[in-house]
Every structure is written in C-alpha cells, then in structure tokens.
Structure 1
C-alpha cells in the first residue's frame, strides 16, 4: 500500500498523491496478506480504491485460501462502502507469479460465491493470454452451474432427470441435453432442454451465469422440462451423478459422453482429451 510495482504502483501513479496520503493515515502498518481496506480514489475516475494484499507465490506464499480471501474481503469492503460496481485485476498473477490458470479459477469461483450487494464485477486482463483464460473459465463455470442445477433437481426427488453431455461436431462447443430417462435416445427436440457453450448465458428460456445459484437453475429445468415428475426411485443413478459432479468440480472440467472419434469404452471423460474417466451411468429401473 505504498505505491510499489505492479498494479499497486499503477494505481498510485494514476490516482496521484492523495491515495498514498490516505494509505499512510488509514493503514500506518499496511494490511495483512489476504485482508482488504479502502482509501480515496484520488484522481482516478472512481469513488474509492479497495486495496488488498495478495500472496506472493514466488516468495513461497502458496496458501490458496489467502488468494481467495483477497476477493472475499474486497467485496465485503465494497459492501461497507455501498459500492455497486468493482473492478479487479487478477490478484497475485503478475509480479507475484501465481499460476495463471489457478489465479483465474480462484477469482471466478470466489466472486461467484460471494454474498455481496455489488451489482457488477469486472475482471480486467493484463494481456490476451489472461483474457482468453478468463473467458474460457467463465464459459466452463457457467456450464458446470447448469450441471449443478441437474444435481439440485435430483435432490428435490426428481430422480429420472438425465444429462447427456458431449462435444459438437466442430469440436468448438460443449453441449448438453437434459431430459427424463424415458426420452433418452428419442429424436424429439421438444423432449429435452438443449444447451451449448456457444449460447453463452441463454438456457431454458432464461439466463444462467456463474453468479446464478444451482437452485435457480433447477427452477428453470423444472419449469421447462416436459413429462417430469418426482419419483425418488433411482438412488443409484443419483449417487452416480453426484460422484461425477464431485470429479467435475474438483478438476474444473466438463464431462464428455460423446464426440466425433470419442472412444467411450472406458466410460465418460472429464475434460476433453484429459484421460480422466468416470464409469458409464447405471441402467435406470423400468
């Protein structure tokens, strides 16, 4: 908080000496790693600067919870101020050398789960590589949220709901069909909810982003899916799907049941081309 290098230095150079004066006055001993606090924005086109101290990966500070705390504490400070929008750099991903892919995932996962009154959060990429990684992670996280909605439907007792994920013929987009068990294999577009990552937020007549809860996704599925009724009669499939989702969430990758040239003899794959396999789903009771 003394105008050093990286984003900190850039903020102080752009905002002028008022920011440094406020930093020294409000935080004479600085802040602990993972904590956050606010100052004036000086000459910046903003009302406040929320300062946070990221862990220095290059110096051995590799506790991911500290990185997550930066985003969580920053949104808490924003709420204390009544802020409605906030922009973040990728904390610790610059001179502190936190691995880019994990830095992106920590940012998106933590902000998506934050209990905050902030309406708009922007993640600002420093270069095209970071920008591409951010867009990819947001796309994957949105698709995972839809699958989490299927799990939430199962938890409500709708055991016959199925998700069939795969890759488009072009290999550019992941897609999933959500239907009831009796419609598996039926060539009828009205018998299922279809989603593709090419559709971005559009799902089941609504919009889904990483900030939408699985329960809200479950509501969309139940409102849209035809011939759906609570049965609670297939705990084996529900358990299988829960195990699949645990693997998806840990790996942060999407499941694949089919694709051009895909060999499914060893089950579904979590992450296109990853080699991580999950067994085929069990047969449903008649």
Structure 2
C-alpha cells in the first residue's frame, strides 16, 4: 500500500506534541477534528492556564512549514524547534506537569498506524468519550476530555 504523505505529514503534528511534552510543555493538549467537508484534517493545540483556554492552529502551521502532500526529511525535533520559535508566548504558558494526559497521549500515539489520524469530532460526529480514526478505530479518551473541545 502506498504511503499517503498528506496523512503521514499531518501525523507528524501528533509526534511534535509528544516532543513538546518531553520538553516540559505538558499542559499542551491536542484537539483533532475533521473539516466540514470531511476531506481535511484539522488540529489545534490548546493550553489550559488558570481556567483560560488558548489555542494555536497547528494544522495550518504545519502546512506552511512542509509541502504537506510530499515526502519530507524534517525530523520531529527540528519541526518542534521551529514550532517553539513560532509560538514562544503560547508555549511559555504550557510549561508544567500533566502526567495523566501525557501518559494517555503516548499510548494513543502507539495505537496509531503510520498514516492514521484521530479526530475528536466533525460536523456529523459530536464530541464523545473516544476519538475515531481514519482507519475507523476508537481511541478512548480521559474522563471529561470533551470539555476542551
């Protein structure tokens, strides 16, 4: 089966977030979704800080950094460095511990195939206690995770 570079490169966002967690930005959460047509994957990163939510449009960002439909050699660490430089104020707010989320997140990544993408909701699929994937799997989330969507 031929690799889908769009999905493969978008999935890199998920691994960038894991690298951010390793760097101490454990308050970063991922909100994956599908566009209203269902043809594009969207991903926002949010940070919860003192009951305030702030977000960045990560899927828009990566499309500016990579030729999303083509093979790319950029490493996750290099891409993480670029994202940190592009959003320093956001990531400063994301410093801190959230081991419950980061452990769940790591397991979620291990459950994905090479170019599989998760989504929490779409116009035709509201938030629940699980994410669906492009391979029609369910990934159960932490309790009350949908409050962040």
Task: Identify the match of residue 193 of structure 1 among 50, 57, 79.
Answer: 57
Deviation at 1:256, TM superposition (A): 0.4
Q: TM-score, normalised by structure 2?
A: 0.77
Deviation at 1:156, TM superposition (A): 1.0
Q: TM-score, normalised by structure 1?
A: 0.43
Structure 1 residues 228-247: Cα deviation after superposition (integer angstroms, max 9, x where no partner)? 23644111111111111111
Partner of 2:97: 233
Unaligned segments of structure 1, at least 5 residues: 1-100, 106-136
SS of residue in 2 equivalent to 1:212: coil
- Give the length in aligned residue pairs: 140
Unaligned segments of structure 2, at least 5 residues: none
Task: Identify the match of residue 255 of structure 1 among 118, 121, 126.
Answer: 118
Instruction: Please tell me whether residue 153 in structure 1 is matched to residue 28 in structure 2.
Output: no
Structure 1 residues 175-207: Cα deviation after superposition (integer angstroms, max 9, x where no partner)? 111232239985x7xx413425xx8841xxx33
Partner of 1:176: 43
1:26-65 maps to which residues of 2 (within 5 A)?
none
1:1-286 maps to which residues of 2 (within 5 A)?
101=1, 104-105=2-3, 137-182=4-49, 186=53, 191-196=55-60, 201-202=63-64, 206-207=65-66, 210-225=72-87, 226-229=89-92, 231-248=95-112, 250=113, 252-271=115-134, 274=136, 276-281=137-142
Tell me which stretches of 4 or more aligned residues in structure 1 moved more than 6 Å: none
Report if aligned partners of 2:13, 2:59 keep a CA contact under 8 Å in 1.
no
Structure 1 residues 9-40: Cα deviation after superposition (integer angstroms, max 9, x where no partner)? xxxxxxxxxxxxxxxxxxxxxxxxxxxxxxxx
Q: Does 1 or 2 have the higher relative contact order (CA < 8 Å, sep 6+)? A: 2
